[in-house]
């Protein structure tokens, strides 16, 4: 039956808990030890009971199947391959045991569909355990994608947490091949089972670490001996160098006293000389001041007169401007230019009139020719009609098919000859036009040559005038260029200032916003405290900036409220800030002390992710750990689909538009308004504001300097322009005449270009006609040959008459086509001539309007010229008077200049003397400064008072010779000797410490081995005693466990000796198959008793036992206080069970049924 089965309610047997605990060995640290080994502690609560197992989609269990285990001893029976062992696999699976699962991949445990069923998408096993009044449900689920999930009472958990509840006992489940493994094991491997259950592997690990530590200490002792030898050799060398250094130092100290005395006396001498120089400079400066005051007064008088001169010059300029000299020249030039333009246009009008007369005459001729051609066409049409009637009468008796071909050939031949005639006429016409255009082009080129010669003459005159005033113009050009450059630079500086001002306002606003964005009262209070308390760096948002704006939203969401956490230098600063907030009662804040950050991050970036969020923050190295703490291993991905592809719950991920998925599987997303918090590098922003302010100050200074420079240059240009005005007026007249000629020559050039282009077009048409004519001649030759062939096929008088009639008709057609072609050509020529006449007349009308306009402008200019000449004559007198006054003032300025020149000469003499004194003073001060710098190193040296300068110099020479005689001396030998001596003493002390440490390690290793043996032997004796009792009980014989090398347990093997009832004692290898199984079973049961569990599962342990021994095994299990689940085929064993579960299989699906026996 499928589904759930249940037993009647049973009375539970009272169970009592028991535990196995072992002691912990500790070696004092001062002996080189420490807490190095902790044998495992096993606790087993006999109240814990496996109540039932639910299986679904697991191996052969397709449907949900519930198997209950209400009793202490339950047997599972069924045919081979029915799925009995799959029940054991299910329990191993839910406990996370890989041993015995019989699958290379967990997904192979999912029901595969059997022969014809549908495979399951997942498999799960629920195990229900009761522990007194408490019920525990343990679940494990595996899905097709390989995901495996543990749950306890419905919440997700880990395998370790489950093992903490039910215990981690590898031997509470005995599988089919475990007995065989024990039988086939080498004695050493069998001993490994005892090692495992007693936990002495930890002793071996500690021993191995001690061996490594011992090797390290031995290496250091060896190295220390080498260092001591080197130090002792070095010390012997230093001892001699130290004695030389002491002698050298005594002589050097005496030399320093001598040099210090010489320097002190030299400094005193130079100081007196400098004082004398300063007195002379003071006297010269007094005289210089008096002369300067007088010169200043004269300068002021000259300045006043110069100002008066400037006023006079300005007035003269105003009068000159009012007189209109340059304006008169300008107006005269304009009048001449317009006269030249009128003459040129009139010349063009005359040419147009002549051209119009020619074209009108040509139009009359074309009309007469067209009228004659039309009359001729009427006559030809009548002849054509008569010829067709005659041909029609003659053709009735002729072969129509042959005649059609002949007619077609003649028609095509006629068409080709007609086209050749038309091409010839068209070529003749084009030739005439080309000749006319060539003649016109030749005339234009002659006129252009004459104009070019006149233009070149004017250009020479202009060049001569330019050369005459080149110096002034060049200077003015340079000055104007400088002004233009300055103007451009001023504009650039102004633009730069505007840009900097805008940028300053923006950066200042950003800085203020960054300081106060989303800042609570508590954060504001801490930021105020920052001004007076060192170690407060700012909020997380103020210490970094986003490297790519595309990731701004993602990083804001990933950091969240942690952007407002305050970063401080250490936990002491954080404590002071917290106390400050409490005192002011302004709220709470979270602090990140830099000295306490402990962030563990991974560099793993799975495929499909853009990268780690923390890698997109720019910050200083000091704060890098802050962002590792805040952002951790958060990944940035494109969108939710990218996050799902990577795996929701595998990583913490944030999308570019702010959706967030946690490792717990929680997903947050949707619409989001603009975040209040953002990243900003506050320190960098403050530095940027200061940098911009410095640039603005520099730019303001530059702009002021440029404005002053431009003003000076403009004044100089004004002066140069006044002096070059007359020559410029004459030069301007020449330029106007040259421009008029150039304009006329340009107009002729356009007409010449048109004529040349039209000639090229005609030549191209002629080339095309030649090509077409050659092709037509070839066609005519082919057609005539074809016609001759057709004509030879027929020969009669009627045909001859018909041919003559057709030939006559063709001649008429040729004439007709010629006349029609002539008519078309005449019509086309007439239309073209009419169009050309209209165009020429339109151009003539435009030229007439231009002449009229220019004549009106010339009359207005002549009126303006008369008025300017009248005004000019009135101002000439005033200008003369001003010039005379200006000359008088200039003479006065010259006199004052001579007086000032004398004063300046006197001042120059004084300055020369003063300069000489200053040079002497500077030399003395430089020498004094050098001596004073040299004297610094002799500061505190007692001078010598009982020797004169000569004696001091001689003593210094003698001491220097003595020092030189000592040669190269290692002055550091004195200090180095003491340092090396001290280091040698310290190394000898460390050597003693290392030797003590080595002995401590030896003692520690000995204690480890002693305790390891004790723990092993305690466990071995317990298992041995259990084995002896169990074996005696199930076999009525005797058996024991023996170590084949008890002195060295690490190399010893475990030998099982047993004597079944009625047999002598023998080794396991010498027993029969059944005896081996019985003995190995007793051994495994003894191991189980040492490390008890809440329940035990035995898979076909009795398979190789006879009935008698199977019964004894069943009786043993029956008497156990623990819960046993036995898979068996043995009816004798089954009878001792409290309940039996039957397993069968149908169509690849396992089914179960339960039977209560007691």
CA dist., res. 576 & res. 568, Å (int):
11
> Is residue 54 assigned to a domain?
yes
Three-class SS state of 680: strand
**pLDDT confidence band for 43 (50 / 70 / 90):** very low
Q: Is the pLDDT of residue 51 over 50?
A: yes
Burial of 593 (0-12, 13-18, 19+ CB in 10 A): middle
**pLDDT confidence band for 8 (50 / 70 / 90):** very low
Residues linked to residue 1039 through DSSP beta bridges, in sequence order: 1058
> Is residue 822 assigned to a domain?
no
More confidently predicted of 189 and 128: 128
Closest Cα partner for 173 from 96, 81, 107, 78?
Answer: 96
Among 41-45, 119-123, 410-414, 578-582, whose mean pLDDT is lowest? 41-45
Q: Which of 653-657, 753-757, 890-894 has the highest average model confidence (pLDDT)?
A: 653-657
Q: What is the mean pLDDT of residues 576-597?
A: 86
Three-class SS state of 941: coil
Q: What is the torsional sign of CA 912, 917, 923, 925? A: negative
Neighbouring C-beta atoms of residue 854, cutoff 10 Å: 17
**pLDDT value of position 395:** 62
More confidently predicted of 796 and 490: 490
Q: Mind giving me the DSSP string for 126-184?
A: EEEEEETTEEEEEEEEEETTS-EEEEETTEEE-HHHHHHHH---TTSEE-TTHHHHHHH
**pLDDT value of position 746:** 81
**pLDDT value of position 726:** 61
Closest Cα partner for 636 from 608, 655, 650, 617?
Answer: 655
Q: What is the mean pLDDT of residues 341-351?
A: 75
User: What's the pLDDT tens digit per position in 675-700?
Assistant: 545 566 565 666 777 788 788 788 87
What number of residues does the chain have?
A: 1158
CA dist., res. 58 & res. 70, Å (int):
23
Among 277-286, 671-680, 872-881, whose mean pLDDT is lowest? 671-680
User: What's the pLDDT tens digit per position in 556-578?
Assistant: 888 888 888 999 999 998 998 89
**pLDDT confidence band for 1111 (50 / 70 / 90):** confident
Number of domains observed in the structure of the chain: 2
Q: Which two tokens stand for residue 943?
A: 């001078």
CA dist., res. 1133 & res. 1108, Å (int):
10
pTM to 2 decimal places: 0.36
CA dist., res. 46 & res. 26, Å (int):
32
Q: Which of 426-435, 635-644, 1051-1060, 1075-1084 has the highest average model confidence (pLDDT)?
A: 635-644
User: What's the pLDDT tens digit per position in 471-504?
Assistant: 776 777 787 778 778 867 876 876 786 677 667 6
Q: Is the pLDDT of residue 54 over 80?
A: yes
Q: Classify strands 1123-1127 and 1095-1099 as parallel, antiparallel or unpaired.
A: parallel
> Is residue 638 assigned to a domain?
yes
Residues linked to residue 667 through DSSP beta bridges, in sequence order: 661
Among 133-147, 148-162, 620-634, 1053-1067, whose mean pLDDT is lowest? 1053-1067
642-655 CB burial, b ≥16 within 10 A, e <16: bbeebebeebbbbb
Three-class SS state of 606: coil
Q: Is the pLDDT of residue 836 over 80?
A: no
**pLDDT value of position 179:** 73
Q: What percent of the chain has pLDDT over 90?
A: 6
**pLDDT confidence band for 1008 (50 / 70 / 90):** confident
Among 64-73, 265-274, 319-328, 1025-1034, whose mean pLDDT is lowest? 319-328
Three-class SS state of 193: helix
Q: Which two tokens stand for residue 595?
A: 């000295």
**pLDDT value of position 37:** 39
Q: Mind giving me the DSSP string for 333-375?
A: HHHHHHHHHHHHHHHHHHHHHHHHHHHHHHHHHHHHHHHHHHH
End position of a domain, from candidates 614, 640, 669? 669
Closest Cα partner for 543 from 677, 637, 655, 672?
Answer: 677
CA dist., res. 984 & res. 433, Å (int):
122
CA dist., res. 224 & res. 212, Å (int):
18
**pLDDT value of position 411:** 74
> Is residue 614 assigned to a domain?
yes
Three-class SS state of 1038: strand
What spatial distance separates the first Cα and last Cα of the chain, rounded to whole Å? 22
Among 312-326, 774-788, 1133-1147, whose mean pLDDT is lowest? 312-326
Place of tokens 């050039």: 749
Residues linked to residue 1059 through DSSP beta bridges, in sequence order: 1038
Three-class SS state of 19: strand
As a 3-state breakdown, the chain gives helix, strand, coil percent values, each rounded to 5, of 70, 10, 20
Domain CATH for 630:
1.20.1060.20
Q: Is the pLDDT of residue 962 over 60?
A: yes
Among 341-350, 834-843, 1047-1056, whose mean pLDDT is lowest? 341-350
CA dist., res. 847 & res. 855, Å (int):
12
User: What's the pLDDT tens digit per position in 79-93?
Assistant: 888 888 888 888 888
Q: What is the torsional sign of CA 1075, 1079, 1084, 1086? A: positive
Q: What is the mean pLDDT of residues 796-818?
A: 68
Q: Is the pLDDT of residue 891 over 80?
A: no
CA dist., res. 245 & res. 238, Å (int):
10
Q: Is the pLDDT of residue 517 over 80?
A: no
**pLDDT confidence band for 387 (50 / 70 / 90):** confident
Q: What is the mean pLDDT of residues 152-174?
A: 82
Neighbouring C-beta atoms of residue 310, cutoff 10 Å: 10
Residues linked to residue 1127 through DSSP beta bridges, in sequence order: 76, 1099
Q: How far is CA 402 from CA 410, 415, 791, 797, 803, in A?
A: 12, 20, 9, 16, 13
Domain CATH for 9:
3.40.50.300
CA dist., res. 720 & res. 728, Å (int):
12
Place of tokens 């007026």: 729
User: What's the pLDDT tens digit per position in 916-940?
Assistant: 777 677 767 777 777 778 777 777 7
CA dist., res. 841 & res. 863, Å (int):
34
Q: State phi, psi for 942 to the nearest 5 degrees.
A: -75, 125
Q: What is the largest CA-CA distance in the chain?
A: 170
End position of a domain, from candidates 669, 696, 715? 669
Q: Is the pLDDT of residue 28 over 70?
A: no
Closest Cα partner for 1144 from 12, 59, 16, 60?
Answer: 60
Q: Is the pLDDT of residue 62 over 90?
A: no
H/E stretch holding 1126 reads strand 1123-1127
Q: What percent of the chain has pLDDT over 70?
A: 82
140 neighbors 106 (Cβ within 8 angstroms): no
Closest Cα partner for 977 from 226, 250, 236, 247?
Answer: 236
* Beta strand ranges found along 658-809 (DSSP E): 660-661, 667-668, 680-681
Name the residue range of residue 1133's domain.
1-24+39-168+1127-1158
> Is residue 210 assigned to a domain?
no
**pLDDT confidence band for 639 (50 / 70 / 90):** very high
End position of a domain, from candidates 616, 638, 669? 669
CA dist., res. 69 & res. 89, Å (int):
16
CA dist., res. 573 & res. 537, Å (int):
11
Helix axes of 797-936 and 400-468: crossing angle, nearest 10 degrees: 30
H/E stretch holding 1154 reads strand 1149-1156
User: What's the pLDDT tens digit per position in 1112-1129?
Assistant: 777 777 777 778 888 888
Neighbouring C-beta atoms of residue 949, cutoff 10 Å: 11
CA dist., res. 410 & res. 810, Å (int):
8
Q: What is the mean pLDDT of residues 645-669?
A: 90
> Is residue 512 assigned to a domain?
no
Q: State phi, psi for 530 to the nearest 5 degrees.
A: -60, -30
Q: Which two tokens stand for residue 220?
A: 């250091």
433 neighbors 829 (Cβ within 8 angstroms): no
> Is residue 817 assigned to a domain?
no
CA dist., res. 310 & res. 453, Å (int):
47
Residues linked to residue 75 through DSSP beta bridges, in sequence order: 1126, 1140
908 neighbors 254 (Cβ within 8 angstroms): no
Q: Which two tokens stand for residue 111?
A: 């029901």
Q: Is the pLDDT of residue 19 over 50?
A: no
More confidently predicted of 5 and 888: 888
**How confident is the prediction for the chain on average, in pLDDT?**
77
**pLDDT value of position 39:** 41
CA dist., res. 92 & res. 738, Å (int):
113
More confidently predicted of 121 and 991: 121
Three-class SS state of 1067: strand
Burial of 828 (0-12, 13-18, 19+ CB in 10 A): exposed
**pLDDT value of position 14:** 34
> Is residue 1148 assigned to a domain?
yes
């Amino acid at each position: 039956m499928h589904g759930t089965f249940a037993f009647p309610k049973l009375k539970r047997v009272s169970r009592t808990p028991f535990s196995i605990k072992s002691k912990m060995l500790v070696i004092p640290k001062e002996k080189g030890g420490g807490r190095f080994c902790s044998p495992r502690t096993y606790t087993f609560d006999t109240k814990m009971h496996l109540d039932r197992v639910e299986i679904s989609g697991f191996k052969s269990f397709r449907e949900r199947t519930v198997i209950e285990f209400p009793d202490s001893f339950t047997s599972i029976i069924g045919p081979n391959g029915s799925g009995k062992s799959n029940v054991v696999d299910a329990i191993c699976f839910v406990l996370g045991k890989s041993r015995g699962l019989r699958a290379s991949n967990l997904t192979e445990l999912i029901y595969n569909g059997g022969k014809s069923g549908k495979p399951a998408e997942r498999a799960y096993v629920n195990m229900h355990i009761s522990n007194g009044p408490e019920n525990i449900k343990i679940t494990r689920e595996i899905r097709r994608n390989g995901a495996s999930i543990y749950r306890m009472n419905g919440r997700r958990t880990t395998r370790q947490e489950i093992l903490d509840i039910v215990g981690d006992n590898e031997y509470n489940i005995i599988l089919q091949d475990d007995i065989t493994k024990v039988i086939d094991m080498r004695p050493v491997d069998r001993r490994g089972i005892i090692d495992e259950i007693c936990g002495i592997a930890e002793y071996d690990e500690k021993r191995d670490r001690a061996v490594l530590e011992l090797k390290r200490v031995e290496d250091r002792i060896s190295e220390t001996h080498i260092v001591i030898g080197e130090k002792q050799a070095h010390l012997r060398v230093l001892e001699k160098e130290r004695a030389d250094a002491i002698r050298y130092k005594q002589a050097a100290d005496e030399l320093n006293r001598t040099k210090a005395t010489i320097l002190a006396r030299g400094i005193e001498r130079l100081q007196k000389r400098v004082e004398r120089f300063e007195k002379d400079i003071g006297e010269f400066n007094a005289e210089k001041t008096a002369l300067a005051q007088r010169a200043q007064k004269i300068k002021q008088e000259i300045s006043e007169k110069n100002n008066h001169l400037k006023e006079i010059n300005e007035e003269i300029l105003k009068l000159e401007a009012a007189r209109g000299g340059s304006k008169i020249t300008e107006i005269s030039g304009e009048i001449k230019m317009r006269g030249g333009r009128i003459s040129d246009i009139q010349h063009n009008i005359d040419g147009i009139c002549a051209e119009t007369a020619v074209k009108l005459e040509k139009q009359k001729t074309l009309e007469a020719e067209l009228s004659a051609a039309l009359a001729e066409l009427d006559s030809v049409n009548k002849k054509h009609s008569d010829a067709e009637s005659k041909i029609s009468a003659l053709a009735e008796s002729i072969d129509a098919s042959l005649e059609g071909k002949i007619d077609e050939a003649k028609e095509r031949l006629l068409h080709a000859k007609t086209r050749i005639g038309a091409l010839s006429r068209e070529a003749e016409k084009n030739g005439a036009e080309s000749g006319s255009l060539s003649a016109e082009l030749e005339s234009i080129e002659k006129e252009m040559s004459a104009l070019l010669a006149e233009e070149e003459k004017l250009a020479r005159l202009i060049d001569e005038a330019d050369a005459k005033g080149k110096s002034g113009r060049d200077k003015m050009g340079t000055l104007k260029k400088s002004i233009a450059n300055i103007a451009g630079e001023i504009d650039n500086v102004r633009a730069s200032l505007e840009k900097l001002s805008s940028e300053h306002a923006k950066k200042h606003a950003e800085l203020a916003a960054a300081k106060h964005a989303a800042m609570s009262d508590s954060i504001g209070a801490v930021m105020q405290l920052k001004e007076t308390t060192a170690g407060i760096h700012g909020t997380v948002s103020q210490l970094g900036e986003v490297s790519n704006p595309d990731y701004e939203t993602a990083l804001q969401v990933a950091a969240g409220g942690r952007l407002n956490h305050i970063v401080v230098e250490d936990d002491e600063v954080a404590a002071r800030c917290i106390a400050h907030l409490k005192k002011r009662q302004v709220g709470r804040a979270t602090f990140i002390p830099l000295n306490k950050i402990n962030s563990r991050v991974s560099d793993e970036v799975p495929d499909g992710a853009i990268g780690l969020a923390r890698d997109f923050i720019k910050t200083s190295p000091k704060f890098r750990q802050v962002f590792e703490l805040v952002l951790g291993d958060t990944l940035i991905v494109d969108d939710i689909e990218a996050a799902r592809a990577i795996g929701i719950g595998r990583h913490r991920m944030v999308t570019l538009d702010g959706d967030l998925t946690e490792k717990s599987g929680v997903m947050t997303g949707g619409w989001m308004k603009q975040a209040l918090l953002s990243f900003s590098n506050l320190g960098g922003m403050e530095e940027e504001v200061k940098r911009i302010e410095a640039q603005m100050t520099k730019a303001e200074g530059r702009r002021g300097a440029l404005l002053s420079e431009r003003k000076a240059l403009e004044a100089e240009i004004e002066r140069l322009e006044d002096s070059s005005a007359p020559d410029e007026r004459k030069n301007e007249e020449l330029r106007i005449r040259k421009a008029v000629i150039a304009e006329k020559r340009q107009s002729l050039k356009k007409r010449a270009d048109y004529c040349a282009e039209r000639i090229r077009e005609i030549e191209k048409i002629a080339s095309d006609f030649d090509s077409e004519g050659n092709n037509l001649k070839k066609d005519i030759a082919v057609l005539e040959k074809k016609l001759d062939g057709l004509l030879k096929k027929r020969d009669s008088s009627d045909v001859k008459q018909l041919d003559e009639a057709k030939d006559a008709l063709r001649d008429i057609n040729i004439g007709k086509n010629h006349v029609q072609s002539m008519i078309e050509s005449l019509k086309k020529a007439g239309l073209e001539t009419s169009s050309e006449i209209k165009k020429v007349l339109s151009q003539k009308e435009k030229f007439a309007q231009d002449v009229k306009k220019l004549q009106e402008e010339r009359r207005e200019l002549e009126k303006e010229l008369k008025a300017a000449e009248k005004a000019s004559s009135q101002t000439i007198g005033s200008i003369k008077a001003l010039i005379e006054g200006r000359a008088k003032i200039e003479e006065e300025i010259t006199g004052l200049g001579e007086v000032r020149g004398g004063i300046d000469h006197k001042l120059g003499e004084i300055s020369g003397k003063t300069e000489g004194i200053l040079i002497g003073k500077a030399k003395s001060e430089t020498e004094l400064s050098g001596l004073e710098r040299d004297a610094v190193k002799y500061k505190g040296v007692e001078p010598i008072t009982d020797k004169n300068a000569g004696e001091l110099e001689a003593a210094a020479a003698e001491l220097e010779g003595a020092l030189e005689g000592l040669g190269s001396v290692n002055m550091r030998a004195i200090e180095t000797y003491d340092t090396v001596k001290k280091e040698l003493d310290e190394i000898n002390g460390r050597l003693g410490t290392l030797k003590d440490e080595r002995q401590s390690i030896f003692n520690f290793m000995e204690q480890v081995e002693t305790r390891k043996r004790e723990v092993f032997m305690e466990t071995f004796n317990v298992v041995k005693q259990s084995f002896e009792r169990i074996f005696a009980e199930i076999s009525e014989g005797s058996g024991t466990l023996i170590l084949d090398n008890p002195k060295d347990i690490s190399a010893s093997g475990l030998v099982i000796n047993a004597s079944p009832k009625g047999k002598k004692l023998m080794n396991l290898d010498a027993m029969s198959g059944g005896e081996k199984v019985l003995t190995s079973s007793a051994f495994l049961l003894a191991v189980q008793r040492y490390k008890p569990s809440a329940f035990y599962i035995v898979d076909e342990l009795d398979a190789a036992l006879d009935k008698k021994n199977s019964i004894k095994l069943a009786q043993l299990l029956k008497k156990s206080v623990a819960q046993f689940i036995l898979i068996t085929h043995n009816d004798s064993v089954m009878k001792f069970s409290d309940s039996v579960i039957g397993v069968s299989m149908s169509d690849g699906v396992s089914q179960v049924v339960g039977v209560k026996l007691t």
